Amino acid sequence: MKPLVEIRKLSKFFPVTGGLLHRKTGEVKAVNQVSFEICQGESLGVVGESGCGKSTLARLVLGLIKPTGGSILFDGQDITRMNQKALRRLRKRMQMVFQDPHSSLDPRYAIFESLEEVFRIQKENRDRDQMNQRIFELLDMVGLKAEHARAYPHQLSGGQKQRAVIARALATTPEFIILDEPTAALDVSVQAQIVLLLKELGQKFNISYLFISHDLALVDYFCQRIIVMYLGKIVEITAGKLSDRQPAHPYTQLLMESLFVADPFARKEIPQARGEVPTPFNLPKGCVFQTRCSRARDICRQKEPALESNRHNGRVACYFPLS
Ligand SMILES: Nc1ncnc2c1ncn2[C@@H]1O[C@H](COP(=O)(O)OP(=O)(O)OP(=O)(O)O)[C@@H](O)[C@H]1O
Ligand SMILES: [Mg+2]
């Protein structure tokens, strides 16, 4: 299958300043030399603890922030080298849905106006009737009723607001949508409905998703392959669902032991850190995970392992993988 999105050695380092003069004292390696691709119609997951760089990766991939290095190819075009006009044209084809539906919607606009605005920004020349029809079609697609069109965000429930946000993302008929913790702010029962809706829409319109979450079971349910991130690095890319195979990287195993529960919609806690957790601006030499790894030996402390293909068709960055 042809990749729709190709990420090559992508990095984002944020400067850390200190002292009275705010001099640069170091940098946070939020995303550190990551490479992967997303195929057409594929749902690829990204998991990892808070602060490992998931949201930074999302913003880089959409061209919302400039990378420190590396490239992002969308349908063969490098978005890091595009001018604003070309990027705006491309933005129609890629969208994002964030965690908090409330801050994604302008409180001064009724849902209808929020959707109308998309067409205005995209400078689409549709006549009124055509646009009205399209807006009601979009609301229907996400399971909202015509009467919701006149509602303001504060009059809707969290789930309804997220449906409106999804309708707005679909307005430009995107081929690729990044979902950054799309259900984290919702009640468990509503989470399931939104996830099912996204899955159904993905299949219907052949949308590729990058699904970000620290909820392993949810990501495993939604995605065909999963990227495991730790301190800005990809430590493993699975060839299939986590529940179907043994983890290869010790960190994947740690996440699975602490987070995997049979019911993808049950509430889960973030795992307690085991061992010393380095910060992304104080990375150890060698493997990023060594301080928490029971398998670490001398080589792990000396040289960083590369992300390499394993015999399960996945990729793992570990000298002593579990499988
Ligand atoms: N604009 C910024 N300036 C400086 N540091 C930043 C900035 N944005 C993110 N970071 C740092 O980069 C690292 C990765 O942050 P990011 O928000 O990408 O993590 P995340 O995996 O999305 O976390 P969470 O699960 O909590 O959403 C963190 O150490 C964070 O403090
Ligand atoms: Mg985040």
Q: Is the CB of 54 under 6 A from ligand 1?
A: yes
Model-wide pTM > 0.85? yes
Ligand index nearest the alpha carbon of residue 14: 1
Tell me how far the alpha carbon of residue 48 lies from the centroid of ligand 2, in angstroms: 10
- Ligand 1 pocket test target in 16, 52, 56, 178 with most atoms within 8 Å of CB: 56
Could you report the per-residue pLDDT of 218-251, keeping only the tens digit for each?
999 999 999 999 999 999 999 999 998 899 999 9
Could you report the per-residue pLDDT of 161-177, keeping only the tens digit for each?
999 999 999 999 999 99
3-state secondary structure of 162: helix
Q: Is the CB of 284 under 6 A from ligand 1?
A: no
Q: Which CATH class is domain 40-68+176-316?
A: alpha beta
User: Which alpha helices (DSSP H) does the chain contain, by range?
Assistant: 54-61, 84-91, 101-104, 111-121, 128-141, 158-170, 188-205, 216-222, 250-259, 298-302
Q: Mind listing the pLDDT tens digit of every residue in the chain (323 residues)? A: 779 999 999 999 999 888 777 888 889 999 999 999 999 999 999 999 999 999 999 999 999 999 999 999 999 999 999 998 898 889 899 999 999 888 899 999 999 999 999 988 877 667 889 999 999 999 999 999 999 999 999 999 999 999 999 999 999 999 999 999 999 999 988 999 999 999 999 999 999 999 999 889 899 999 999 999 999 999 999 999 999 889 999 999 999 987 665 565 655 554 554 566 777 777 889 999 999 999 999 999 999 999 999 988 999 999 999 98
Looking at the chain, which residues constitute the CATH 3.40.50.300 domain(s)? 40-68+176-316
Nearest to 233 by CA among 155, 174, 290: 290
Q: Enumerate the β-bridge partners of residue 71.
A: 8
* Residue in this structure with the two tokens 């990729």, named with its chain if needed: 315
113 vs 108, 123, 183, CA distance in Å?
9, 15, 24
User: What one-letter code names the amino acid at 13?
Assistant: F
